[in-house]
Structure 1
Amino acid sequence: MEFALFCTKVNILILILALCSPCKFIQSPMDFGPSNLLETKSSASLDFGRIVFNSPSAVLRPQSPRDISLLLTFLSASSFSKVTIAARGAGHSIYGQAQALDGIVIEMDSIPSDIYIHKKRDDGSGFSYADVGGGALWVELLEESLKHGLAPRSWTDYLYLSIGGTLSNGGISGQTFKYGPQISNVLQLDVVTGKGDLITCSPTSSSELFYAVLGGLGQFGIITRARILLQDAPQKVKWIRAFYDDFDTFTGDQELLVSMPELVDYVEGFIVPNEQSLLSTSVAFPVHLGFMPEFHHVSSAKVYYCIEFAVHDFQAEGTSAEQVVEKISKQMSYMPSLMYSVEVSYFDFLNRVRMEEMNLRSRGLWEIPHPWLNMFVPKSGIKEFKDLLLENISPNDFEGPILIYPLLRDKWDANTSVPLPDAPTGGDGVEQVVYIVGMLRSANPASCAAGCLDDILRRNRRIAEAASAGRIGGKQYLAHHPSLLHWRDHFGRHWNRFAARKNLFDPLGVLAPGQGIFPRVHASTL
């Protein structure tokens, strides 16, 4: 064991010296001996967005968090190194956030990630939770927890993302209105800071680090393990979709649904600008939609809207999800006869986007550029933002879903690093409803060449800047900004806290260079 640890230290030191040499020489992985910790890998410059391609000088495939700690300790003690480090989970970033130009990318999936499920006591006291590695995927946690009749409370729509990756950003889906984002459902974290310290933190122990890394964009530490809160999992889910041709009615019903958390377990929604959008968002919904919309009128394009909600069915005697849905639907104002429902297993419901992925892969539309834009928008600005969005896209040929659904501000912990839009106040006090809008666009190279992609990116920037600077009061989620000034505006009144945390946990600016927030600093300048 001691010899293996010595070899690891030597390997990492050789790597750092090589990176700091004028010729940036990197030795072959075979030169580093049997530990095989270090390798070059072209996939580290590739992510789901396929927009930014920054190649690292090397890739570290650690066998334990200690390997990461050793590397960061060496870097923080070096007075001449300007090497940066990026942690890479499932590679689902859009704008190179998990890349490190001429630096080192750490592949988190190489760390063995056993999942341990802890059930609450027989008397009902305590919590059920899972201890899971930061490089594990949410679908792996779901599969393991379901064996015990349990599951996490809050999800992302797509389950093939890493635990550490989503916790470094927020983690949202249709359950967020009820349980908060994934970062609001964490009990404890193991983190390697930018200084190489390996710390176990929680709301009561090293709490500043705990809250900093949750939604911290990887700026303060690398999450190597997380303790995730679990609850009883339902056996079935009643899955419903309803259609609208009026935006105010659509948002009114969404806000009605999120006001009934005792009945409703999931709420999302879509803008439906064309027939292709309707078909693509219905791939996973296992029932025929008898909806024949008229998207084109003589004077303008017609846009529709769809609410998707779900009710958990625990199959317990005396309860009926069908009766709950009937009670809810009587209060809604969807287009007559345009509500559809189906019953599916809990796993199939949570894993619904996987079917859409398989469909896109079969058509060669998965591994293409994805110029996505995600925005938090206050309730008071959502209609104006919808108009802004539709003015800047071509509804007839838009490819990809446009998600839109409400979240509740009080389900987010203000101590974490995620900045929500500032809450406007009025006669009714603080505005609690915040919408998430996700323009999840695809740019098919067959119909959208480089110039077309650049135009989409310019439109995205125009939408984001108009929404952030004007009356709308929006703020990007999974943000990508071109300058420090933009990042200061993004964090607003929380910027000083964010910068102070950076100085505390990663003063040299080693971590997450792909975010483009803080520059790398020489130790000798501190």
Structure 2
Amino acid sequence: MELALFCTKVNILILVLALCSPCKFIQSPMDFGSSDFLHTRNTAASLDFGRLVFNSPSAVLKPRSPKDISLLLTFLSASSFGEVTVAARGAGHSIHGQAQALDGIVIEMDSIPSDIYIHKKGDDEAGFSHADISGGALWIELLEESLKVGLAPRSWTDYLYLSIGGTLSHGGVSGQTFKYGPQISNVLQLDVVTGKGELMTCSPTKNSELFYAVLGGLGQFGIITRARILLQDAPQKVRWARAFYDDFDTFTRDQELLLSMPDLVDYLEGFIVPNQLSLLGTSIAFPAHLGFVPEFHKVYYCIEFAVHDFQAKGTNAEQVVEKITKQMSHIPSLMYSVEVSYFDFLNRVRIEEMSLRSRGLWEVPHPWLNMFVPRSGIKDFKDLLLENISPEEFEGPILVYPLLRDKWDANTSAVLPDAPAEQVVYIVGVLRSATPASCPARCLDDILRRNRRIVEAASAPRIGAKQYLPRHPSPLHWPDHFGRRWNRFTARKSLFDPLSLLAPGQGIFTRTHASTV
């Protein structure tokens, strides 16, 4: 009876919105009375990159403008549809169903036209070169358009086929973060539809509480429909370098050496190399033969850095790389550098994606784990990680590289480890793939259990790590995740999404009926 009543409400909701709005509202072609069919449905809205969680919505909204989203959320906020939740879906690159809405409504953000407007410094009153772009557009689209006028965003993610609104709802980190901060530190203005249906423009000086809440807010306060992204001059070429190590302390010491050279280094990452497969996989896009024949009875480490080459300004990036490497302590002769175009460097993961797709290894489960680790705990975390994986069988990259705390705005909702005295924080990304042929369901369950053990041990005071792109088994874990910022987070939730309509896949809050608020 309750299920039938709920389905009737959803049908009425869809009908009302279809009559009131020019947007395309699609009810899912499913039998609400069949729970088996509900659990086994496999459409785009119930699928993400992780391929670990499959929550089917009752309907999918394809809005033609932000006003359509505002109409939906305004209607839900003022109605008795107490069961319905809403999730915004960008590129679908979530790992644990964060952009899904079980029996709710998924909004496909890419249906809003991705108009991009580039403004060069001095063209308007802003005083900065910037781009105005739809929240559902992809970073690769912004790169292609901005390069036409010699500009580009300052901060990136490694993979560019992600939505603008999606990464800004989490943080957005890559090798430029140590220098320019995460993507959420390079935003000038946002257009947001709050959980109450209000369509608001916000910035550090206008509706600032909403602005900072949404940045890194995990989709809990509003849906980003447009963003103003800071741009800078783009180089023509990049000198891309890699150096190898067989000692973790030397590896991290050299990473922190490069961290102290922001005037010379423009990009800094690193990764653990546990086996030959890992070495080959992370070198697909690197356009040079690595004359490295490692002895894989031990684990190796690699520092990857880059220097921008503004050829018109007479810079010599190769000489800069030589100056840097003379101060490093890598394995003798295991240092490589190549020159590539700026576009190809930023889009390097796409090459790896195409290789994996050609072998049927892209659309497989991805039990990823990402964590921020204080500098004081990074060696213990490395040991913990290697105790919980099989280095010989691991498939995928393991990223390890440092960031600087003061490049993150504490007003945003993003969470770093509670160690304010430590300026250096490491990001660790355990980006493994679980191909069904080599890792069946039981193996995948084991990986997820190991990931949970790592999270629990690393979150304890001895290491003091925090999850990035977090996933917790129950709402009871979120206060610990946010720590001293939990009260601010819940206050912002009450202000901008009091009914907890938004982002149910995060598992932070429970949907509230209007009559109880």
Match of 1:316, SS state, is helix
Match of 2:312, SS state, is coil
Q: Which residue of 2 aligns with 1:480?
A: 471
Corresponding letter in the other structure for 1:400:
G
Instruction: Note if 1:450 corresponds to 2:441.
Output: yes
Q: Which residue of 1 aligns with 2:250?
A: 249
Instruction: Note if 1:39 corresponds to 2:26.
Output: yes
Q: What are the residue-to-residue correspondences of 1:170-181 with 2, within 5 Å?
A: 170-181=171-182
Shift of 1:319: 2.0
Q: Residues 22 and 246 of structure 1: is their aligned pair in 2 closer, same or farther, counting only changes over 3 Å? A: same
Q: Which residue of 1 aligns with 2:285?
A: 284
Match of 2:311, SS state, is coil
- Contact 1:116 1:131 (C-alpha < 8 Å) held by counterparts: yes
Shift of 1:324: 0.8
Q: Which residue of 2 aligns with 1:491?
A: 482
Shift of 1:484: 1.7
Shift of 1:125: 8.9
- Contact 2:82 2:511 (C-alpha < 8 Å) held by counterparts: no
Provide the rounded CA distance (Å) in 2 between the counterparts of 1:466 and 1:174.
Answer: 27
- Contact 1:26 1:58 (C-alpha < 8 Å) held by counterparts: no
Instruction: Note if 1:417 corresponds to 2:413.
Output: yes
Instruction: Note if 1:208 corresponds to 2:209.
Output: yes
Shift of 1:244: 0.2
Provide the rounded CA distance (Å) in 1 between the counterparts of 2:202 and 2:6.
Answer: 33
Q: Which residue of 1 aligns with 2:334?
A: 338
Instruction: Note if 1:381 corresponds to 2:391.
Output: no
Q: Which residue of 1 aligns with 2:457?
A: 466
Q: Deviations over 1:131-153 (max 9, x none)?
A: 00000000000000000100000
Q: What TM-score do you get using the length of structure 1 for normalisation?
A: 0.92
Provide the rounded CA distance (Å) in 1 between the counterparts of 2:505 and 2:486.
Answer: 19
Task: Pick the aligned partner of 2:359 from 336, 358, 363.
Answer: 363
- Contact 2:23 2:68 (C-alpha < 8 Å) held by counterparts: no
Q: Deviations over 1:6-36 (max 9, x none)?
A: xxxxxxxxxxxx984458558999x958946
Q: Which residue of 2 aligns with 1:94?
A: 95
Q: Which residue of 2 aligns with 1:109?
A: 110
Provide the rounded CA distance (Å) in 2 between the counterparts of 1:208 and 1:399.
Answer: 42
Q: Which residue of 2 aligns with 1:10?
A: none
Corresponding letter in the other structure for 1:313:
D
- Contact 1:19 1:83 (C-alpha < 8 Å) held by counterparts: no
Q: Which residue of 2 aligns with 1:219?
A: 220
Q: Which residue of 1 aligns with 2:35?
A: none
Provide the rounded CA distance (Å) in 2 between the counterparts of 1:20 and 1:72.
Answer: 18
Shift of 1:81: 2.8
Provide the rounded CA distance (Å) in 2 between the counterparts of 1:135 and 1:52.
Answer: 22
- Contact 1:192 1:224 (C-alpha < 8 Å) held by counterparts: yes
Provide the rounded CA distance (Å) in 2 between the counterparts of 1:103 and 1:121.
Answer: 45
Q: Residues 122 and 82 of structure 1: is their aligned pair in 2 closer, same or farther, counting only changes over 3 Å? A: closer
**Root-mean-square deviation (Å):** 1.9
Q: Deviations over 1:60-115 (max 9, x none)?
A: 00000000000000000013432100000000000000000000000000001210
Q: Which moved more, 1:309-318 or 1:273-282?
A: 309-318
Task: Pick the aligned partner of 1:520 from 505, 508, 511.
Answer: 511
- Contact 1:154 1:181 (C-alpha < 8 Å) held by counterparts: yes
Q: Residues 320 and 19 of structure 1: is their aligned pair in 2 closer, same or farther, counting only changes over 3 Å? A: farther
- Contact 1:80 1:524 (C-alpha < 8 Å) held by counterparts: no
Q: Residues 167 and 125 of structure 1: is their aligned pair in 2 closer, same or farther, counting only changes over 3 Å? A: closer
Corresponding letter in the other structure for 2:311:
Q
- Contact 2:384 2:454 (C-alpha < 8 Å) held by counterparts: yes
Q: Deviations over 1:274-303 (max 9, x none)?
A: 00000000000000000000002xxxxx00
Q: Which residue of 1 aligns with 2:31?
A: none
Match of 2:349, SS state, is helix
Corresponding letter in the other structure for 1:490:
H
Q: Residues 464 and 501 of structure 1: is their aligned pair in 2 closer, same or farther, counting only changes over 3 Å? A: same
Corresponding letter in the other structure for 1:358:
M
Matched positions, count: 499
Q: Residues 522 and 32 of structure 1: is their aligned pair in 2 closer, same or farther, counting only changes over 3 Å? A: closer
Corresponding letter in the other structure for 2:348:
R
Structure 1 unaligned runs (5+)? 1-17, 297-301, 425-429
Q: Deviations over 1:478-503 (max 9, x none)?
A: 00001122111000000000000000
Instruction: Note if 1:433 corresponds to 2:424.
Output: yes
Provide the rounded CA distance (Å) in 2 between the counterparts of 1:164 and 1:123.
Answer: 24
Q: What TM-score do you get using the length of structure 2 for normalisation?
A: 0.94
Q: Which residue of 2 aligns with 1:74?
A: 75
Corresponding letter in the other structure for 2:186:
N
Corresponding letter in the other structure for 2:485:
H
Match of 1:143, SS state, is helix
- Contact 2:23 2:64 (C-alpha < 8 Å) held by counterparts: no
- Percent identity over the alignment is 82
Q: Deviations over 1:167-217 (max 9, x none)?
A: 000000000000000000000000000000000000000000000000000
Shift of 1:322: 1.2
- Contact 2:114 2:136 (C-alpha < 8 Å) held by counterparts: yes
Provide the rounded CA distance (Å) in 1 between the counterparts of 2:117 and 2:462.
Answer: 47
Q: Which residue of 1 aligns with 2:38?
A: none
Q: Which residue of 2 aligns with 1:310?
A: 306
Provide the rounded CA distance (Å) in 2 between the counterparts of 1:345 and 1:448.
Answer: 37
Provide the rounded CA distance (Å) in 1 between the counterparts of 2:437 and 2:348.
Answer: 27
- Contact 2:184 2:216 (C-alpha < 8 Å) held by counterparts: yes
- Contact 1:134 1:224 (C-alpha < 8 Å) held by counterparts: yes
Match of 2:227, SS state, is strand
Provide the rounded CA distance (Å) in 2 between the counterparts of 1:499 and 1:27.
Answer: 28
Instruction: Note if 1:350 corresponds to 2:337.
Output: no
Q: Residues 359 and 21 of structure 1: is their aligned pair in 2 closer, same or farther, counting only changes over 3 Å? A: closer
Corresponding letter in the other structure for 1:375:
M
Provide the rounded CA distance (Å) in 2 between the counterparts of 1:178 and 1:311.
Answer: 12
Corresponding letter in the other structure for 1:38:
F
Q: What are the residue-to-residue correspondences of 1:21-170 with 2, within 5 Å?
A: 21-22=7-8, 25=11, 32=18, 35=22, 37-40=24-27, 42-121=43-122, 126-170=127-171
Instruction: Note if 1:508 corresponds to 2:508.
Output: no
Provide the rounded CA distance (Å) in 2 between the counterparts of 1:78 and 1:24.
Answer: 12
- Contact 2:9 2:81 (C-alpha < 8 Å) held by counterparts: no
Corresponding letter in the other structure for 1:361:
R
Q: Residues 123 and 164 of structure 1: is their aligned pair in 2 closer, same or farther, counting only changes over 3 Å? A: closer
